[in-house]
Structure 1
Amino acid sequence: MHASTLFTIGTSITTVIATTLPLAPPERSLSQDDVIFFGHNGQMNVVPRTEFVRYAESLPLATEEQQIFNASTLSLDAETEPNRTITSRCSKETVWALNPAHTFVGWDVLMSSVVKSPPNNSISINVEEGHWLTSKLSASSYSTTKLIEKFLAEAFSTSSDGSWSTSYSSTFSFEVPAGKYGAIVSNPLTIVHEGHVDVGCIGQAERTEFVSHTYQSRDYFNLKWVEGVIGLCVGDTLPLSRCYGPGSLGGVESG
């Protein structure tokens, strides 16, 4: 599934039940039943979580391997190229083979601390500074990394070194219910390009396999992030279990 499909999903959500935000939205408080959809062309909508879940079910959830790839700093595996003596002259070819691009929904990514609300009062939390997300490129041979980066940039307008870091935003706040643990989380929509490239003479080419995970930048006033959704994950115990995806989120601060 390509990025254009994501716009269709976002448009469908908006058509069904979304509240489109004005050009200069006032600060507003959201509940655990709301999510912010960061969509195409900077469009942002607040939709019920149930509507997002309904449409997200049409997309695959990240596998554990994909999530580890996305959340960790991955170093490229450098290979020592074999020494070969070519006795006859030949024409050096570069041949690309790509699998169909596809998209998956990432697990919950923290955009705030995990907090605990007092027993008798809800508390309001905002997106905090210092949470990050980066594009990734993994290749089986370091020597062709630059070639792959250039090809993906020209063919799909992707960047393997894209990086997004949260900054404090008061545009939206979420209310953590009394006595509950909660955190603001994002579920980025991740576009995957994978395949291999053969470089060299026919019959003697060196093959490099690669996989690229990229995101679409979205900028809405003072909230800069990637295409996907932002919402509140709430639970009764620590560690706070992810609301979308297995496993748990980080530490806790008392409200």
Structure 2
Amino acid sequence: MKSTVFASLFLSIAAVSAVPIIDGNLATRELQASEVVVVNGNKTEILTEAALHEFYKAEGILMEKPAIDEEWLNFVPEPVNETAAELSARQIRCSPTSSFVIDKEQRFVDWDVQMSPVTLGAGSGILVRVESGWTVSNAVAVSAGIDSKWLKDKLTASFGVSYTRTWTSVTSFSHQTTIAAGFRGVFISQPWTNRKYGRTFQGCPGSMVQTGTFMADSHEEGSYDNARWVSGQITACIKRYGPKQVGTRMTRCNGSGEFR
């Protein structure tokens, strides 16, 4: 039901200012200023930033990546004051089990993921295109002492999401834009990210003890230009390039850090 509402809402908002992408026209139609390629599952459209922001607002998707709760991930289990004999006796009485609970969920537009080399504009403008080899992955962060492989397997079994999944851009991603002289730019993707915070437990039923905490980030499968990628938005990050920027790396338009 959620996915149906999501798709219907997307289409109703997109209809106001969307440019449908027809097979084969990606390489010939340049992305204009304030336009964004939106990949939503197997649907791809070009929206204005204003229309896209309306969609995010209606869907409750955060437009900025929230800070990681480092305190949550710094959990340290309380020491167990048991003798070896007491521990052995307790383990005999039951079959210890491990489990997890989800305490908080967030859905947001993630930071820029690079999808092309940084290109300097010159003359009447230089075309920049998405290129192959750029990646984005699902990920799990855990507090000390937690078996991340066990947790990834448990999360996958519960939510049907592979937390070892990686997507890689390919050369068929052929959209292009122009970088004018005095600027530099790069194609970027901003994946839609689903973040879960949770706790892990171990012990006997009725007397489970918390053993750790975790944060799990996952993306949604998308199809763009006949290739697999993540759902989200694809656009160009373009910044002025002058004497003060010579010798420096280009920084992200959305998020901290630099492009390669």
- TM-superposed CA distance for 1:109, in Å, is 1.6
The amino acid across from 1:193 in the alignment is: K
The equivalent of 2:258 in structure 1 is 249
Q: Is the 8 A contact 1:9 1:55 kept in 2?
A: yes
Do residues 105 (structure 1) and 115 (structure 2) align?
A: no
- TM-superposed CA distance for 1:200, in Å, is 1.2
Q: Can you list the C-alpha shifts for 1:14-62, whole angstroms capped at 9, x where unaligned?
A: 222112223554522222322110103x100011123224444653211
C-alpha RMSD over aligned residues: 3.1
Output the CA distance in 2 between the equivalents of 1:168 and 1:142.
41
- TM-superposed CA distance for 1:188, in Å, is 0.7
Do residues 152 (structure 1) and 155 (structure 2) align?
A: yes
Identify if the C-alpha distance between structure 1 residues 148 and 3 changes in structure 2 by more than 3 Å, giving closer, same or farther. farther
Identify if the C-alpha distance between structure 1 residues 249 and 90 changes in structure 2 by more than 3 Å, giving closer, same or farther. same
Q: Is the 8 A contact 1:17 1:47 kept in 2?
A: yes
- TM-superposed CA distance for 1:158, in Å, is 0.9
- TM-superposed CA distance for 1:227, in Å, is 0.8
The equivalent of 2:124 in structure 1 is 121
Identify if the C-alpha distance between structure 1 residues 176 and 25 changes in structure 2 by more than 3 Å, giving closer, same or farther. same
TM-score (norm 1): 0.78
Query: How many residue pairs align between the two structures?
Result: 236
Larger Rg: 2
The amino acid across from 2:88 in the alignment is: I
- TM-superposed CA distance for 1:135, in Å, is 0.9
- TM-superposed CA distance for 1:9, in Å, is 5.6
User: Could you list the runs of 5+ residues in structure 2 that have no partner in the other structure?
Assistant: none
Q: Can you list the C-alpha shifts for 1:99-143, whole angstroms capped at 9, x where unaligned?
A: 24321111112111111111x311111111222111111222555
The equivalent of 2:250 in structure 1 is 240
Task: Find the residue that maps to 1:154 and give its secondary structure.
Answer: helix
Task: Find the residue that maps to 1:190 and give its secondary structure.
Answer: strand
Task: Find the residue that maps to 1:107 and give its secondary structure.
Answer: coil
The equivalent of 1:73 in structure 2 is none
User: Could you list the runs of 5+ residues in structure 1 that have no partner in the other structure?
Assistant: 69-76
TM-score (norm 2): 0.77
Do residues 225 (structure 1) and 229 (structure 2) align?
A: yes
| Seq. identity, % | 19
Output the CA distance in 2 between the equivalents of 1:141 and 1:128.
38
- TM-superposed CA distance for 1:170, in Å, is 5.4
Output the CA distance in 1 between the equivalents of 2:253 and 2:197.
29
- TM-superposed CA distance for 1:159, in Å, is 1.0
Q: Can you list the C-alpha shifts for 1:79-107, whole angstroms capped at 9, x where unaligned?
A: 9x989533243322444321243211111
Q: Is the 8 A contact 1:240 1:249 kept in 2?
A: yes
